[in-house]
Amino acid sequence: MLYRYKVILEWDEEGKGYVVSVPALPGCFTQGDTVEEALERAKEAIAGHLAALAQEGLPLPSRDVEIAEVQVEIAS
């Protein structure tokens, strides 16, 4: 079965690479030096996370999350 999950890529200034999190899978994180590497590692991390859930007999999350951008104004 094919599962699709949204990932969040964040530039890590200290590590000089990208950190990837998967909001629908708490605890599923990885990183890579480039966007391409980070996304490839995200696929591996997601597959491993889902395999671990299945092995434990836990349900696999089938619903993904919605990600939105909001704008706020800060008074100075």
**pLDDT, tens digit, 9 for 90 and up, residues 39-62:** 999 999 999 999 999 999 999 887
Q: What is d(CA 60, CA 3) in angstroms, rounded to the nearest whole number?
A: 9
Whole-structure pTM over 0.95, yes or no? no
pLDDT over 80 at 63, yes or no = no
**What CATH number labels 1-76?**
3.30.160.250
Question: Which residue bears the tokens 């899978």?
Answer: 25
pLDDT of the residue at 16: 86
Q: What is d(CA 52, CA 60) in angstroms, rounded to the nearest whole number?
A: 10
pLDDT of the residue at 47: 96
Domain ranges of the chain: 1-76
pLDDT of the residue at 15: 81
**pLDDT, tens digit, 9 for 90 and up, residues 9-28:** 999 988 889 999 999 999 99
